[in-house]
Amino acid sequence: MFQLAFIRVKDTECQLTRTLHLVLGKGNSLDLNQDIDGFNSEIKKATFSVADLQDIGYLLASTFKRAQTLELHIDDEVLFLHTPEVWVKWLSLGLALSSYDYKHRDSFHLEPSINAFELKTDETTLATAFFEGQILAQSQLIARELVNKPGNVIYPESFVSAVQDLPMENTALSFLTEAEMREKGFGGLVGISQGSDRDGRMLCLDYHPEGAQTTIALVGKGVTFDTGGISIKGQLRMSTMKVDMGGAAAVVGALNAIAQLQLPVRVVGLCGLVENMPSGCAIKPGDVVTMLSGKSVEIISTDAEGRMVLADVMHYAQQTFKPDYLIDIATLTGATGVSLGKAYASLMGNSDELKMLAKAAGHSCSEPLWEMPISTDLYEASLKSDFADVRHGSEDGDAGASVAATFLNHFVAPEQKWIHIDSAAMSLGMTHRKIYPKAASGYGTFLLTALCQHIASHTNNDK
């Protein structure tokens, strides 16, 4: 039997030790049985996934809130499901997340606080894994705080200010104002932003360690509030549209983790930040916009705003940084949620290599991806315009997720390795998981970090 002991850093004035036993059985859920002999609690389950490990850490710390020491006793056949380092990493993350409870403050400042524990061990590999779990927890809480804050507190300018306060080693922060982007020709991003009284921004976080030979560009959709613009949304769930910057929040969270983990690759995080509002200045259906790439785009619905923002930022990323890998993440289409629910985010792109790495990364951190098709003749037909080079969607909305990704593909250079992650259903309401009892999930922080780790390992092995 494998044993782990976690010591609560904060003195609870209670020196109790509480124990949890993990054993294989017929169960399919994480039911905590406290009516057993020899231990304070037991979980019996047919298998234990990475998601289970994360949730067990959370469950252990939140169940025994006063105990100073939490011991985990893992039967050998359970332990063999994962390496000891994987067990420790994800248990550490669950423990760290167990005290998070969003409280509103009229400030953009981010103050995420993890539940602090120490691992009792002399093994360096386990200590490193425990530390990595804590880093990932803190980084995800940064993303969750950004998403949880309402649109009157987090908007393009204050989003940048909030991130400026974060200490990220080897990471340079810069941004473009709306006036600068208009001058450069960001027709898509500025076209969406112009309906709001709040100016847009493009935030750039450039993690550039010495000697890095691989460059990864992460592009996040950052619509800090999405009314739908002139194509205004219905009343139902309009209040949740502050989460439409979940992709940008995940990019920030991932950059925070990547910098602390000191990955040996250059990672550039780019966030296109806008509000999508209806006003006399707002873009209209039928308008034609010239993008940063020079392509003209016919607007069909102003509620298909994210792809316009992403297309400009993706073009900028390619032209400015010439990345080896281009990855965008966005709460882009309701169609993805209809298709996959909260089980998967959708994955599309032009590189089998990058898609393979992304699926492996998603599996490793329990932020899984399901591949969907793009760029078939049918999807391309939806983008044909009589008035512009391309229109940004179809009138009927069929295959919305694939059509949106097909549109983005028009702004990707043929030789550029690229994937698109549509996480529309994943940023909120993930309450089937213990680690997300309410509010925002920060989805994508783990995935992007793991993907950059996989790319770093993959490219280093090829050299």
Rounded Cα gap, residues 259 and 263, in angstroms: 7
CB 97 within 8 A of CB 114: yes
359 is catalytic: no
Residue type, 196: S
Among 44, 120, 184, 233, the one annotated catalytic? 233
User: What contacts 291, CB < 8 A, 6 or more positions away?
Assistant: 185, 186, 187, 188, 297, 308, 311, 312, 315, 411
Among 307, 355, 417, 434, the one annotated catalytic? 307
How far is the first Cα of the chain from the last one, in angstroms, to the nearest whole number? 40
Rounded Cα gap, residues 56 and 4, in angstroms: 13
233 is catalytic: yes
User: What contacts 8, CB < 8 A, 6 or more positions away?
Assistant: 67, 68, 69, 70, 115, 116, 117
Residue type, 260: Q
Residue type, 367: E
Tokens in use for 163? 């991130």
Q: Which residues pair with 177 in a beta bridge?
A: 201
Rounded Cα gap, residues 366 and 353, in angstroms: 20
CB 42 within 8 A of CB 36: yes
Longest dimension (CA), the chain: 75
CB 21 within 8 A of CB 36: yes
Q: By C-alpha distance, which of 186, 254, 214 is closest to 417?
A: 214
Q: By C-alpha distance, which of 56, 90, 89, 86 is closest to 73?
A: 56
Residue that the structure tokens 């910098």 belong to: 259
Q: By C-alpha distance, which of 280, 300, 147 is closest to 220?
A: 147
- Which residues are tagged catalytic? 233, 307
